[in-house]
Amino acid sequence: MPWYNAGTVSVTNDSVNVTGAGTAWVDNVRAGQSFVGPDGLTIEIASVVSATSLTLARPYRGVTAAGQAYSIMPVQGDLRDLALQAKDLVLSFSSVRDGVGQGIFPVGTVGTPGIRFSGDEDTGLSRTAANELSGIVGGAVGWRLTTGGLAVTGAVTAKNAGGGRADLSPGDATHTGFLALYAANDVRRGYIGFITTTGGAQPLSYQNETGGVHLFAQGITSSSDIQSNNLLLRGDGSNAFVRPTNAGGDLCLGANATTTWRCANSGVFHPEVDNVWSVGRADKRASVFFAGTGSINTSDEREKLWRGFSEDLKAKFRRIADAIIRELGWFQLLDQIEEKGEDGARWHFGVRAQRVWSIVAAEGLCAPLIGEGAEQRPDPSWTGSPPPAWLCWDIWPDRFDPIMEQRQVGTDTVVVGQEPTGLLDATGSPIMRNLIEERPIMGMVEVGQRLDRAAGNRFGLRVDQMGLLLNWEMGERDKDRQAEVAEFAVRLEALEAA
């Protein structure tokens, strides 16, 4: 946010009180920000008394003066302002917070559901009995959900505009417990259920009216292709899976029997192994992360080899920080300009990573940059120390996605009916033989690759660490100024004594 400097101020030597003229400090200044007075020194603001009065954390040491220019340094930034506004908003919705905001809804009845809709208030949800949730449609119970399961009044039917439909029902004497599928004019075409294959597996399958079997899970032909309790995805041959855990109710993501990410039943989403996998890549970045608070970065001293500052290193990093501060400025993102135009693209504040890299390289703390434009990179012949961790340069090769096609991967022998052999058994009944049909087993096969992302590189910064460096330099500057003021005071006192 910009520095505030409207109006003028009157200051008094050795006083903590500052009086403004033409100022609006209540709306624009916060305790904890910095007051830069006529003497050019920075003093923390202890409190904002009114639009024209504020109190400093320590006395003003400059000369008494009135009608002077000043500045307020917004060291705390927009996040604190946003937090205060969010607090006011939450307090204004206390009644909603304590009721529906806590997930607490009225019980309701069949005639007046606890959760209902404007213009159709006899349709919604009600708690019709202990541990029972009911869906109310037109003032009547359409379904009930209890610990014993879901009970639906009437059939569960999905129907499209062409007349095709699917019914969830017990089926018939031959297909008990299957999902029946119908074409137009209520012509039944088949069923969905679990069926044992020749290899002993039981994948989810489709069976038509003549007894033919087609597996939904393409390429699954044996029990070795089925992972217990997993949703196994085999389209690209990677054996990616989604599965619940046997205990705890977590949902796991992974491939080739290795869980990589987990969504816990508490709502926490986390990697399976600590500090191994990243979210995003240098060439596949997330756009924005929305969060209620900032990220927590591990800073445990038990996980650090502390280096501190040598005097030589301290001098170098002071020069680096000073140069970075001078580099700070406003910019617009090129992709946003392309999308919205220069007048529509938002302005951002920061630095250019390559400029910062060159500043550090000038002090001999990282490789110098060579090349121009897309070919710019750190000099690979550099044999000195690696760059500070807050300087980043990521490179990636050409990345390809597989091109998959459905092709025949095997053959299944299916009994499609029977026919008489012309012979009779001992009871005089005709002896039948099976009619066999060879049917293809289809699966997804990689037939080529397509370029997903061309090779490239990108410079970046860990802004949190760099920001700490700049804050440290500001503190060092303040120490220098305090020392200069103290030395000036001693000299002045000596002059006065003379």
Q: What is the pLDDT of residues 145-164, one digit of tens each?
A: 888 788 776 656 766 655 55
Q: Give the model's pLDDT for residue 25.
A: 94
Same domain, 326 and 465: yes
Residue 216 has pLDDT above 80, yes or no: no
Residues 16 and 44 in one domain: yes
Q: Which residues contact 423 (CB under 8 A, 6 or more apart)?
A: 430, 431
In a domain, 404, yes or no: no
What is the pLDDT, as a whole number, of residue 70?
95
Among the residue ranges 97-101, 371-375, 455-459, the one predicted with the least confidence is 97-101
Which residue is associated with the tokens 């690759």? 449
Pairing of strands 65-68, 8-11: antiparallel
Q: Using an 8 Å Cβ cutoff, are 384 and 364 in contact?
A: yes
How many other C-beta atoms can be found within 10 angstroms of the C-beta atom of residue 39?
Answer: 17
pLDDT above 70: residue 385: yes
Q: What is the pLDDT of residue 191?
A: 59
Residue type (1 letter), 130 = A
Task: Write down which residue in 24, 51, 78 finishes a domain.
Answer: 78
Q: Give the per-residue pLDDT at 240.
A: 62
pLDDT score of 273 more than 80: yes
Closest CA to 21 of 75, 65, 74, 81: 65
- Using alpha carbons, select from 445, 417, 446, 447 the residue that is nearest to residue 433: 417
Q: Is the pLDDT of residue 261 over 80?
A: yes
Does 270 or 91 have the greater pLDDT score?
270
pLDDT at residue 117 tops 90: no
pLDDT on residue 225? 39
Task: Find, among 342, 306, 327, 353, the residue nearest to 470 by Cα.
Answer: 327
For residue 197, give the nearest of 207, 210, 209, 187 by alpha carbon.
Answer: 207
Measured distance CA(19)–CA(51) in Å, rounded: 9
Residue 68 lies in a domain: yes
**Residue 175: pLDDT over 70:** no
List the CATH number of the domain containing 350: 1.10.10.10
Range of the domain at 267: 227-271
The answer to whether residue 31 sits within a structural domain is yes
Q: Which residue has the tokens 């680096």?
A: 320
In a domain, 169, yes or no: yes
CA dihedral of residues 262, 268, 273, 279 (deg, nearest 10): 90
Please tell me whether residues 146 and 260 are part of one structural domain. no
Q: Give the mean model confidence (pLDDT) for residues 177-199.
A: 55
Check whether residue 198 and residue 331 sit in a common domain.
no
From 224-233, 379-388, 451-460, the region with the lowest mean pLDDT: 224-233
Is 470 found in the same domain as 363? Answer: yes
Q: Which of 13, 151, 179 is nearest to 143 (CA)?
A: 151
pLDDT tens-digit profile of 97-110? 666 667 777 878 88
Residue that is last in its domain, among 78, 98, 126:
78
141 lies in a domain? yes
Give the model's pLDDT for residue 215: 39
Q: What are the φ and ψ backbone dihedral angles of 345, each rounded to 5 degrees?
A: -75, 135
Looking at the fold, whether 132 and 48 belong to one and the same domain comes out as no
* Higher per-residue pLDDT: 380 or 81: 380
Residue 439 within a domain? no
One domain for residues 211 and 232? no
* Burial class of residue 72 (count of CB atoms within 10 Å of its CB; 0-12, 13-18, 19+): buried
Q: pLDDT band at 247, cuts 50/70/90?
A: low
Predicted confidence at residue 221, as pLDDT, reads 42
Share of the chain above pLDDT 70, in %: 75
pLDDT, position 104: 77
* Full-model pTM: 0.49
**Residue 365: is its pLDDT beyond 60?**
yes
pLDDT, residue 468, reads 94
Angle between helices 353-362 and 311-327 (to 10 degrees): 150
Same domain membership, residue 246 and residue 210? no
Whether 15 and 56 map to the same domain: the answer is yes
Look at residue 269 and tell me whether its pLDDT is greater than 80.
yes
Task: Give the Cα-Cα-Cα angle 39, 2, 288 (nearest 5 degrees).
Answer: 145
412, 203 Cβ separation under 8 angstroms: no
Q: Is the pLDDT of residue 208 over 70?
A: no
Longest dimension (CA), the chain: 141
Mean pLDDT of 311-333: 95
Rg of the chain on CA atoms, in Å: 36
Residue spans of beta strands (DSSP E) within 219-368: 231-233, 240-244, 251-255, 258-263, 269-271, 329-331, 348-350
Give the whole-angstrom CA distance, residue 37 versus residue 17: 12
**What's the pLDDT at 315?**
94
Q: What is the mean pLDDT of residues 282-289?
A: 82
Check whether residue 201 and residue 232 sit in a common domain. Answer: no
Number of domains in the chain: 4
Instruction: Tell me how far apart the alpha carbons of residues 232 and 254 are, in angstroms, rounded to a whole number.
Output: 10
Strands 140-146 and 251-255: unpaired
Are 362 and 463 in the same domain?
Answer: yes
> Which pLDDT does position 90 carry in this prediction?
65
Residue 163: per-residue pLDDT = 57
- For residue 78, the tally of other CB atoms under 10 A from its CB is 9
Of residues 170 and 17, more confidently modeled: 17
Average pLDDT, the chain: 81
- In single-letter form, the type of residue at position 383 comes to T
Indicate if 124 and 244 belong to the same structural domain: no
Q: Is the pLDDT of residue 348 over 80?
A: yes
At 162 the pLDDT is 58
Q: Where are the alpha helices (DSSP H) in 384-423?
A: none
Residue 220 in any domain: the answer is no
Q: Which of 289-293, 321-325, 486-490 has the lowest mean pLDDT?
A: 289-293
Residue 337 lies in a domain: yes
Nearest to 353 by CA among 366, 340, 336, 337: 366
Whole-angstrom distance, CA of residue 117 vs CA of residue 139:
12
Q: Which one, of 77, 63, 4, 41, lies nearest residue 474 by Cα? A: 41
